[in-house]
Amino acid sequence: MKKQIAILGSTGSIGTQTLDIVRANPDRFEVYALSANRSVDTLIAQAREFHPEVVCIADEACYLPLKQALSDMDIKVWAGTQSICDMVTFPSIDIVVAAMVGYAGLQPTMAAIRAGKTIALANKETLVVAGEIITSLAMQYHTPILPVDSEHSAIFQSLQGENPNEVEKILLTASGGPFRDFTYEQMEHVTAAQALKHPNWEMGAKITIDSASMMNKGFEVIEAKWLFGVHYDQIEVLVHPQSIVHSAVQYRDGSVKAQLGMPDMHLPIQYALTYPERLPLERERLNLTQIQNLTFYQPDMQRFPNLRLAYQAIERGGNMPCILNAANEVANLKFRESQTSFLGMTRIIEATMDQAPFIAKPTYEDYVATDLAARQIANQL
């Protein structure tokens, strides 16, 4: 039986690479549903190639062009966030690839968990914003959450066959981004165009900027806490410029297990889709004889304060990570639009964390209200 896949965010970097995996394994996978935010032309092309049962566009203003372009095909065409939530509950769907960008991925992921679908999670903001609710829901509905991020996939692979209680710490690697050797003063003047040129990875614009500021690594610390049930102070970030060791786990006997590979997202995506199997993957192989060195060093939280803010948010808990995420989404966009500086993003985020109302035991409704309030504060700043 082919696995039926729904891809949320099919036109983005993770979504298109997931479709590469489907394309290479037509005997294993079938696309049942696709969604996008507003990339109508790309979604139309994907629908024509993969013939899903349903496609959904989040931006309702894009509904008519999508509907008209697919009018000659037997495909359901929907629009809006609620329709994406409804789409993932189709009984035929086996796996939901949660690859929407940012906070927008939270509600559809919750709907998929309640429907008992296996979640291939690429949207780290879901766990950053509401990790406690998501993990509780997954336990309640017996829903597996399989990490797609290369770092969390590496940790997941390094935990296989091991007792989780014997984990001493998680070693979360970071490339350091394009500015890892810049001074604090130099970073005040960098542009979005410079920040979007990641030295190792090809990713979407938002996550590439987050990687340059190391906020992405901060989010991954929070995500790892929830995915692997460890305390945040058991997670150590190591800057590893070569991006060959994708992350590692250190056990209480001193042993360290790591997953190595080329900086290529196809591998972690495929592993999430096929776990516990490993299928052949026709991609470039890691040749250890060609690697001159593997270096690791601690991140400088004075030059990259966003990582410090993420640790502060998870230490305080409650709705603070939600505030952090909302402020970062606003600041990230404003930087890409040249409305704030690279370091100005940090100032916006930190001030929002100071000003937004703190809730120690938030409900889902509290998270929704917090996200809205934090965005308003960040925009005013």
Q: Which segments of the chain have a pLDDT < 70?
A: 199-202
Question: What pLDDT was estimated at residue 104?
Answer: 84
Asked if the structure places residue 167 within a domain, the reply is yes
Same domain, 137 and 156: no
Closest among 352, 341, 273 to 312, alpha carbons compared: 352
Same domain, 25 and 105: yes
Name all contacts of 192-196 with Cβ < 8 Å and 24+ positions apart.
192/335, 192/336, 192/338, 195/335, 195/342
Q: How far is CA 250 from the centre of its chain?
A: 24
Cβ–Cβ < 8 Å for 308, 301: yes
Asked if the structure places residue 343 within a domain, the reply is no
Residues 6 or more apart whose Cβ sits within 8 Å of residue 159? 167, 228, 249
Question: What pLDDT was estimated at residue 371?
Answer: 95
Same domain, 161 and 133: no
How many CB atoms sit inside 10 A of residue 195's CB? Answer: 24
Q: Which of 132, 147, 162 is the last residue of a domain?
A: 147
Q: Which of 316, 351, 375 is the last residue of a domain?
A: 316
Asked if the structure places residue 367 within a domain, the reply is no
Nearest-angstrom CA–CA distance, 129 and 106: 8
Same domain, 210 and 301: yes
pTM, two decimal places: 0.93
Same domain, 159 and 42: no
> Which domain, by its residues, includes 64?
3-147
Same domain, 14 and 162: no
Closest among 364, 338, 340, 336 to 352, alpha carbons compared: 340
Question: What pLDDT was estimated at residue 322?
Answer: 96
Asked if the structure places residue 340 within a domain, the reply is no
Same domain, 114 and 240: no
The CATH number given to whatever domain includes residue 73 is 3.40.50.720
Residues 6 or more apart whose Cβ sits within 8 Å of residue 308? 301
Question: What pLDDT was estimated at residue 152?
Answer: 97
Q: Which of 116, 147, 178 is the last residue of a domain?
A: 147
Asked if the structure places residue 322 within a domain, the reply is no
3-state secondary structure the chain: CCEEEEEECCCCHHHHHHHHHHHHCCCCEEEEEEEECCCHHHHHHHHHHHCCCEEEECCHHHHHHHHHHCCCCCCEEEECHHHHHHHCCCCCCCEEEECCCHHHHHHHHHHHHHCCCEEEECCCHHHHHHHHHHHHHHHHCCCCEEECCHHHHHHHHHHCCCCHHHEEEEEEEECCCCCCCCCHHHHCCCCHHHHCCCCCCCCCHHHHHHHHHCHHHHHHHHHHHHHHCCCHHHEEEEECCCCCEEEEEEECCCCEEEEECCCCCHHHHHHHHHCCCCCCCCCCCCCHHHCCCCCCECCCCCCCHHHHHHHHHHHHCCCHHHHHHHHHHHHHHHHHCCCCCHHHHHHHHHHHHHHCCCCCCCCHHHHHHHHHHHHHHHHHC
Q: Give me the chain's average pLDDT, please.
A: 95
Same domain, 98 and 208: no
Which residues are bridge partners to 169 per DSSP? Answer: 250
Same domain, 136 and 169: no
Nearest-angstrom CA–CA distance, 100 and 11: 9
Question: What pLDDT was estimated at residue 101?
Answer: 81
Tally of CA atoms within 13 A in the half-sphere of 209 that contains its CB: 24
Same domain, 89 and 206: no
Q: Say how many domains are in the chain.
A: 2
> Which CA distances in Å does 213 have to 19, 199, 232, 294, 304?
29, 14, 20, 22, 6
Same domain, 294 and 156: yes
Asked if the structure places residue 232 within a domain, the reply is yes
Question: What pLDDT was estimated at residue 292?
Answer: 86
Torsion angle of C-alpha atoms 233, 268, 37, 336, degrees rounded to 10:
60
Asked if the structure places residue 324 within a domain, the reply is no
Same domain, 99 and 224: no
Asked if the structure places residue 347 within a domain, the reply is no
